[in-house]
A and B are shown apart, each in its own frame.
Chain A
Amino acid sequence: GEDVEQSLFLSVREGDSSVINCTYTDSSSTYLYWYKQEPGAGLQLLTYIFSNMDMKQDQRLTVLLNKKDKHLSLRIADTQTGDSAIYFCAEVSPNFNKFYFGSGTKLNVKP
């Protein structure tokens, strides 16, 4: 569960869609999460997906889960400048003792 990987940077134009990708390692993870961190602040949970789901949609956010490839993605539709932040994916050990975070993807939204 320790090797959660994400690309470091993504730059998009305002109004476009953003897709942030993540690969994880622990196939027994029950939940997978996306967190958002704004400068100088802590992390806020954006959304999560239960491991028996393929997709979850929540307003502008769409989470896709490919369990076979251990691949998780977050799509932000109609990206706004206020979406500029660092996005972390995370998985949790089955006993919830440890949450493993990726290194974060810094999303830059250009006006």
Chain B
Amino acid sequence: NAGVMQNPRHLVRRRGQEARLRCSPMKGHSHVYWYRQLPEEGLKFMVYLQKENIIDESGMPKERFSAEFPKEGPSILRIQQVVRGDSAAYFCASSKMSAGGTGELFFGEGSRLTVL
């Protein structure tokens, strides 16, 4: 009964490199959310995906950031040409939406990206 699994837990990149963060939702969950947490700040919504569909990406920067949730495999948050301002903790959460459900989000432990 694994929870939401994120990897890597820590990632160091140099400016200009690419970062790929992976998230496997809880078993039976088909809704995935990505959030970013800057040091000493709250969580900022980035994107909400269902299998093979981006439902809401209004929180994603328009350039360099992309997300996917393929039919098979984990959800991936991809950051191209990273800059120092991308350094943050990126959290994935999954949910099992069902009629009458409470929409509870289950969070992974986060991937901490450091850009040198």
Contact = CB atoms under 8 A, between A and B. Distances in A.
A35 B35 CA distance: 14
Interface in B61-116: 91, 93, 95, 97, 102-110
Contacts, number: 59
A59 interface: no
A104 B43 CA distance: 9
A42 B45 contact: no
A100 B107 contact: no
B109 A42 contact: yes
A98 B45 contact: yes
A17 B55 CA distance: 41
Interface residues of A, number: 24
Contacts of A50: 102
Interface in B26-60: 31, 33, 35, 41-45, 48, 55-56, 58-59
A92 B104 CA distance: 10
B68 to A, nearest CB: 17
Nearest to B44: A101
A42 B110 CA distance: 6
Contact of A88 (B42, B56, B97, B110): B42
Interface of B: 4, 31, 33, 35, 41-45, 48, 55-56, 58-59, 91, 93, 95, 97, 102-110
7 contacts: A42-B108, A43-B105, A97-B55, A98-B48, A98-B56, A99-B105, A104-B42
Given A44-B107, A96-B103, 19 more contacts: A31-B102, A33-B104, A33-B105, A42-B91, A42-B110, A43-B43, A43-B105, A45-B104, A88-B42, A96-B31, A96-B97, A97-B48, A99-B33, A99-B103, A100-B45, A101-B35, A101-B43, A101-B44, A102-B42
